[in-house]
Amino acid sequence: MDAKNLYYFEEAPIVKSVTHFAVPMMLGMSMSVVYSILNAYFIGTLHNTAMLTALALTLPLFAVIMALGNLIGIGSGAFISRLLGEKRYSDVKHVSSFAFYVSLILGLIVVAVGLPFLDPIVRFLGANAESFAFTKDYVMIMLAGSPFILLFFMLENIVRSEGAANTSMIGMILSVIVNIILDVLVIFVFHWGVIGVASATVISNLVASAYYGFHIGYKSQFLTISIKAFKITKEISSNVFKIGVPVFIMSLFLGAMSLIFNRFLIEYGEQAVAGFGISSRLLQFPECILMGLCEGVVPMIAFNFVANKERMKQTITFTLKVIMILATTFGIIVYFISDHLISLFTNDMQLIEMGSYILHVTFLSLFITGITVLFTGIFQATAQGTAAFIMSIIQGITLIPVLYIANQMNGFHGVVWSLVISDVVAFLVGAMMLYILRNKLQPDLESIAV
């Protein structure tokens, strides 16, 4: 294994190792959020609420495509890191080749299944007469380009799993830069609107996937996308899918939650849907910083789960402290400038008011969300498939009944607050499972499981 990466896995001080693995992931994911925000901003300059609504309505579709990429990518990535910790270097090639070709096949299936049912999908997403055409344009391009989007998420995960954190970051930033440049061209030069924005997203993912493919083909010591290394064995499939399937289900629940939210919010007007879409994009920034931190340390946790559990404990403890600091800082900032943030995207006063309110409420659970993501990462890294599966469904299972009840009891306010309630339940369930699993992960996790 590359000596530099091995040093960060095994020997470097915890702060230095976490910085090496997490900061590139945090920067890469935050750049993706910057793009998402700029995306909405560019569309917002056209002063067309229906276009902003279309962007919000298509979030569930993107979540499904991303879920398929993470199904293979996170499952394969966690397994690759454990194989590296066990020094089973030759097996890594088989896993990475498996991940590439299975992801490609899944992407082609999405195209074949999705495009013939384009109109029903758009209606299912909740588009009304005003936003239907814009939503259809976006969905059509996203479905056609889904193999490239899916490969991007998969490749980013397996590249990061071998310790190439900087390469992972460069690929994400490359995707964002290409996307922003293309957005400016398609909106302000060619005037293609939503269909141009969707095309820019697909092309940027294709460019980043090509970059990752180049790295794997010419610079990675153990990863490969060669068909010669492809094999399907019980060990590979079981280790990939027992972690990947819970991730997939969790992503589907996130998409379903967004879909259900849109359907409830549309009762309170397009401003409510657009406000939720804008506030969600703003919330993505601190959420992705925390997710980047937690997902960035997963390879380190997985490696040391089989190599050095004391080092694994130190990694998790330090990560918890950083989550607390970051969540508190973001929460204070947003509390004071939420109106100004929403007004960057629109001059509609009702939309600004609704978006600001949603931001205030959802930021309350930012700290809880960060720790919940860390719990999930621990379960993924340590191959606790059942715990990972429970974490993948608990928030969605909680949200749906809470959403119905809260809407009946308190209308728009109840809908928004149901997010916080479901986050709290997911946190409590995760903490409980970590406590129950402390013996299996002993002696190192006991001190943080309570």
Q: What is the pLDDT of residues 337-360, one digit of tens each?
A: 777 777 777 777 777 777 788 888
- In this structure, are residues 261 and 416 in contact, taking their beta carbons and an 8 Å threshold? no
Give every residue of the chain whose pLDDT is below 70, as ranges: 1-5, 32-33, 35-37, 254-255, 257-258, 270, 439-450
CA atoms within 13 A on the CB side of 369: 23
The CA distances from residue 294 to 18, 104, 262, 300, 376, in Å, are 10, 27, 28, 11, 9
Six-digit token pair at 208? 């980043």
What's the pLDDT at 2?
A: 57
> What DSSP line would sit under 168-185, residue for residue?
HHHHHHHHHHHHHHHHHI
Q: CA separation (Å) from 118 to 87, 115, 124, 148, 266?
A: 47, 5, 10, 19, 21
pLDDT digits (tens, 9 = 90+) for 64-97: 888 888 889 988 998 998 898 888 888 999 999 9
- The amino acid at 95: V
Per-residue confidence (pLDDT) for residue 104, from 0 to 100: 94
Would you state the pLDDT for residue 137? Answer: 92
pLDDT given at position 409: 82
The model's pTM is 0.74
